[in-house]
């Protein structure tokens, strides 16, 4: 029953959040344009519900045509001193403002306000059987792993916890995640996955 109510909540969330999103769009969009003149949004292929691939939106935090760098476990390289990130990008990443553009995806219907973090489309074949339940539900702007652990877990641990969420989500759990997300963002805990420079051998460049 809740899965039907969840979509209604998403629509209400979009309507309530629209004025705030428009304000963020104006301020952040202008800041991005002023800094380097590049596009405001970054669009990436992600794995959605039932393993369907969709385009996920974010406010662009990296320089135009920045190389895609992954860690050895397939996770995205993410460090405080990443030279690929713009000045505006560092701020919107630390505050998670870059993620707010996903309200577009929630409105379209290929994402939800609260759900598992969407994986890159190239990761689909790397999922183990006990991780695949993650794709039983739509990915979310925030979710269980983002709220409680942010970037402090391995890829394997994140997938298992997201699979658990997909089989146990409820209104009460989503409410807890919502308020925990606010606390996590305000504390700015576990924002970065890496501490080293991205040129180090621990990370690999994926063309």
Q: Tens digit of pLDDT per residue, the chain (207 long)?
A: 898 899 999 999 999 999 999 999 999 999 999 999 999 999 999 999 999 999 999 999 999 888 777 666 556 666 677 889 999 999 998 888 999 999 999 999 999 999 999 999 989 999 999 999 999 999 999 999 999 988 778 899 999 999 999 999 999 999 999 999 999 888 766 555 545 555 543 444 332
Q: What share of the chain is helix, strand, coil (3-state, %, to 5)?
A: 50, 15, 30
Query: Where in the sequence is the domain holding 59, given as residue range(s)?
Result: 2-206
The residue among 113, 133, 153 whose CA lies nearest residue 47 is 133
Instruction: Please give the model's pTM, rounded to 2 decimal places.
Output: 0.81
Q: Per the structure, how many domains does the chain have?
A: 1
Longest dimension (CA), the chain: 49
């Amino acid at each position: 029953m809740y899965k039907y109510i969840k979509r209604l909540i998403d629509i209400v969330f979009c309507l309530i959040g629209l004025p705030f999103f428009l304000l963020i769009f104006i301020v952040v969009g202008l800041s991005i344009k002023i800094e380097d003149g590049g596009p405001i949004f970054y669009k990436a292929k992600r794995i959605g519900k039932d393993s369907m691939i969709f385009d996920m939106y974010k406010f662009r935090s990296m320089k135009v045509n920045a190389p895609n760098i992954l860690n050895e476990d397939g996770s995205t390289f993410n460090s405080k001193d990443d030279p690929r990130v713009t000045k505006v990008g560092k701020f919107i990443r630390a505050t998670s403002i870059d993620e707010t553009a996903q309200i577009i995806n929630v409105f379209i219907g290929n994402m939800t306000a609260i759900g598992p973090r969407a994986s890159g489309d190239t990761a689909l074949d790397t999922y183990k059987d006990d991780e695949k339940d993650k794709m039983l539900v739509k990915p979310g702007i925030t979710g269980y792993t983002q709220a409680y652990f942010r970037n402090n877990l391995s890829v394997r641990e994140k997938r298992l916890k997201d699979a658990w969420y997909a089989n146990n989500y409820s209104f009460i759990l989503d409410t807890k995640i919502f308020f925990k997300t606010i606390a996590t963002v305000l504390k700015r805990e576990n924002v970065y996955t890496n501490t080293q420079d991205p040129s180090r051998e621990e990370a690999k460049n994926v063309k």
